[in-house]
Amino acid sequence: MDASSWESEVQKQTGRMVRAPCCEKMGQNKGPWTPEEDKVLVDYIQRYGHGNWRALPKLAGLLRCGKSCRLRWVNYLKPDIKRGNFTKEEEDTIIRLHQQLGNRWSAIAASLPGRTDNEIKNVWNTHLKKLMDPETAQIEPTKKRRKKKGDSAMSVFADQSQISESSLDAREESSSSEIDERFWLDVLSISDGSESSMNSTTVELHPPTSNSTSSVAMALMNWNDNDDDMEFWQKLSKGIGDWMEFSHV
């Protein structure tokens, strides 16, 4: 019985609207994916795409819940996913964006093409956090360093002095969580309309209909990339003022 049928049946019997329980309770598989399951999922998505995750497992013939399929695809099977160790630049970016955005892993992931929020979260929790919080590191001393197969990036930040100034330059006041996406789009267009004052080669602002967190992440990335550019800061400052006035904030 699929999730929808199960819900209808329970609703009929109880008169109440319910959500189907995930996985185990529906007699579905849990735990690690087998290569066979991976193949079925990849084949199906390559052929038909993933219009509806909830319906996908049934259509593909998988004994998994839609959520599980989505997670497996997004975090592991998607063709553009970059596997392997994080570079110093990637770790630096994670540290910098984490200072600005907090645990908004999807927003951070938006600035690291090919990396998933889950992967970034794991990297942060396993070693970057310790580097950024020496007190925690003292409470939980790392006695051993597990060496992964082919791992060479573990020691990238072994010496904290290697972390760039900009990474450690916390901009408390720049907390963006309360800032509406319109802000960034407006401010950056107000700044002068040209791209000369920004590192536009690596930055792309999305339209308002797209993921707002990624826009903010990218805008912030842009912001830090222009640390020494006084002209940029002046324009940004003016832009903020103009935007606030315009928006009656």
Partner DNA sequence: AATATTAGCAACCGCACGCAG
Partner DNA sequence: TCTGCGTGCGGTTGCTAATAT
Residues 164-183 touching DNA, rule: CB under 7 A, are none
Q: How far is the CB of 125 from DNA (least distance, A)?
A: 6
Distances (CA, A) of 71 to 142, 194, 205, 245: 30, 39, 26, 43
Helical H segments across the chain, by residue range:
3-14, 35-48, 56-60, 66-72, 88-101, 105-109, 117-123, 129-132, 134-139, 165-168, 181-190, 212-225, 230-247
- Considering the rule CB under 7 A, would residue 184 count as an interface residue with DNA? no
- Considering the rule CB under 7 A, would residue 26 count as an interface residue with DNA? no
Tokens read off for 185: 């789009």
Scanning 3-11, 188-196, 197-205, 227-235 for contacts with DNA by CB under 7 A, the matching segment is 3-11
Residues 191-210 touching DNA, rule: CB under 7 A, are 209
- Considering the rule CB under 7 A, would residue 19 count as an interface residue with DNA? yes
Q: Which is nearer to DNA, 121 or 171 (CB)?
A: 121
Q: Which is nearer to DNA, 66 or 239 (CB)?
A: 66
- Considering the rule CB under 7 A, would residue 72 count as an interface residue with DNA? yes
User: For residue 176, what is the enclosing H or E element?
Assistant: none
Cβ–Cβ under 8 Å, residues 164 and 92:
yes
In the block, residue with structure tokens 């900009």: 166
Q: How far is the CB of 58 from DNA (least distance, A)?
A: 11
Nearest to 37 by CA among 8, 86, 77: 77
Q: Which is nearer to DNA, 85 or 200 (CB)?
A: 85
Long-range contacts of 47-56 (CB under 8 A, 24+ apart): 54/3, 54/4
For 237, residues 6+ apart whose C-beta sits below 8 A from its C-beta are none
Among positions 12, 47, 149, 248, the unique one binding DNA when judged by CB under 7 A: 149
Scanning 45-53, 183-191, 193-201, 239-247 for contacts with DNA by CB under 7 A, the matching segment is 45-53
Q: How far is the CB of 238 from DNA (least distance, A)?
A: 29
Among positions 6, 42, 54, 238, the unique one binding DNA when judged by CB under 7 A: 54
Q: How many residues bind DNA (CB under 7 A)?
A: 57
Exposure letters 31-60 (e unless 16+ CB within 10 A, then b)? eebeeebeebbbebbeeeebeebeebbbeb
Q: Which residues bind DNA (CB under 7 A)?
A: 3-4, 7, 17, 19, 22-24, 29-33, 50-55, 64, 66-68, 70-72, 74-76, 103-107, 117-119, 121-123, 125-127, 140, 142-149, 151, 154, 209, 211, 213
